[in-house]
Amino acid sequence: MAYSAAQLEQARKLGTSTLFEASGLATGAANAAIRPVWAGASIAGPAYPLECSPGDNLAIHIAMEKAPRGSILVISTGGFVAGYWGEVLTVAAEAAGIAGLVIDGGVRDVAALTSRRFAVFTRGISMRGTIKASAPSVGQPISLTGTPVAPGDLVVADDDGVLVIPAAHVEHALANGQARADKEARMMEALAQGKSTLELMGLTSWRQAR
């Protein structure tokens, strides 16, 4: 699935929290244990899913030659934390036009990832390396900690977490997300003018309940 630059920028600016609420898809949020390596990382792009055997990163090396430019690699490892990814793969990813990485396993070379500002979202950090012996799945649908991920789904990730929106729902989610963001902007203007959240959210009956 191809997304326009405008759609990707809109998704990134709206952010995961707004889009999660707007999408109405409870299964879209990846496990909250998957966090950015460096604060402020923010990405949006089409998913390129793959699966690694525990402690084995061969599938990643294969994916680097197959993933379309602009893709976000989304990697399931069954939750096994090891250093599947580091500085060498980051340099390779930059050359291949890979936009970012989401992995439920682990990464290493954190200082290099941070200095290069390559967006990585991971379950953990591990100095332990990996072998290269098997590639269970490359470019096929996977489950990322219970979140379905198919090639071309929209991945949005930031400090609040990782969201996967199925391709068929992207336009709807972006439209709803923009409407939600516009409504919140108007609410914040009203708050700055002295209105209360109880008033703006229609919760004034709770004043009497105190």
Compute, in degrees rounded to 10, the torsion defined by CA atoms 168, 171, 174, 180. -100
Q: What is the DSSP letter of 137?
A: E
DSSP letters, 73-132, are: EEEE-TT--S--B-HHHHHHHHHHT--EEEEEEEE--HHHHHHHT--EEEEEE-----B-
Tokens of 12: 């990134």
Q: Is 108 one of the annotated binding-site residues?
A: yes
Residue 8 in contact with residue 44, Cβ under 8 Å?
yes
Residue 88 marked in a binding site:
yes
89 is in an annotated binding site: yes
87 marked as part of a ligand binding site: yes
Contacts of 184 (CB under 8 A, 6+ apart): 18
Is 120 among the annotated ligand-binding positions? no
| C-alpha torsion angle, residues 35, 92, 52, 40 (rounded to 10) | 10
Which residues partner with 147 through β-bridges?
144
| Contact between residue 77 and residue 147 where contact means Cβ atoms under 8 Å apart | no
CA 32 to chain centre: 11
Round to the nearest angstrom and report the end-to-end CA distance of the chain: 52
Q: Is 139 annotated as a binding residue?
A: no
Q: Which residues are annotated as a binding site?
A: 86-89, 108-109
Q: Which residues are annotated as a binding site for substrate?
A: 86-89, 108
Q: Which residues are annotated as a binding site for Mg(2+)?
A: 109
